[in-house]
Amino acid sequence: MDVFIRNKRYTGPVQSVVLDWAGTAVDHGCIAPAAVFVDVFAQRDVAVTIEDARKFMGLAKKDHIRGMIGLPRVAAAWEEKYGRGPDETDVDSLYDRTAALMVETIANHCDPIEGVVETIDNLRGRGIKIGSCTGYVDEMIEVLVPRAKERGYHPDAVVCSSDVPAGRPYPWMCYANAIQLETYPMEAMVKVGDTIADIQEGLNAGMWTVGITRTGNEMGLTSQEVAALAPEALNLRLETIRNRFKAAGAHFILDSTADLLPVIEEINQRLKSGELPLNG
């Protein structure tokens, strides 16, 4: 491996791509985790919506739960039911049930998103390594990884939120990928994800970031549900998501990870000219 010394700008090509899992590589619409959070709160007789659950997607699952119980409407409903506000004991209880249900649900949402396997094969053919990171924890990813591999998707590195000191938007999972993939500098890496937290994570790690709209959490629909939308409605929803990702600082915004190859070519050209993945 050629040694890059940090006394000049990196002008080589992209070396590694790090993908989120649900909504980016598998599980079109990020269906599995959103449904579980709604079910878990319902079991405690506190009603939450799919929209409540999707607000915090991409975070480590305990942080996700903390975000949901911090919503004023959810906190008020909790206090009405239990006579007090939710606390860390409740977070632990909700998390334990979430983990159990998530393992069961993930097993039914392991299919790669259309075109992703072919795109990953193409990237590997160019010598690019494939990493992955997720808000899932060990027992969840242990279910997902082998089932996705059976269906053709198998990254070279797998890092989850329980492997590092803190999940997104901290950069630790991206750094762990860099170590496992033996890739540096960080501007030689690309982070691909379907949530604001993914984009923040990639930016914090010093990587190029790509936001995924149509197949991900922000859209929140299966491929069949997307196909059933009227073109005007679909375009409006996509534009709203693009604006959110742009405001978050994403370098590139795509409908699907399957569309990634031209972006890699553009990043290579930017790197060649000495550009860094900095915003602002």
| Residues marked as catalytic | 20, 61
Sequence-distant (6+) residues with CB within 8 A of 264 are 14, 17, 123, 126, 128, 190
Angle at CA of residue 174, ends 31 and 259, nearest 5°: 55
- Comparing CA positions, the residue from 143, 140, 145 lying closest to residue 130 is 145
Do 159 and 47 meet the contact criterion of CB atoms below 8 Å apart?
Answer: no
CB 93 within 8 A of CB 127: no
Tokens encoding 154: 């198998």
Helix axis angle, 172-181 to 196-204, nearest 10°: 60
Q: Which residues have a Cβ under 8 Å from the Cβ of 104 and sit 6 or more positions away?
A: none
Round to whole Å and give the CA distance between 255 and 163: 29
Six token digits for residue 7: 């006394």
Q: Which helix (H) or strand (E) holds 19?
A: strand 16-19
Per-position DSSP letters for 15-75, written without gaps between them:
-EEEE-SBTTTBSTT-HHHHHHHHHHHHHTT----HHHHHTTTTS-HHHHHHHHHTSHHHH
Q: Which helix (H) or strand (E) holds 43?
A: helix 31-43
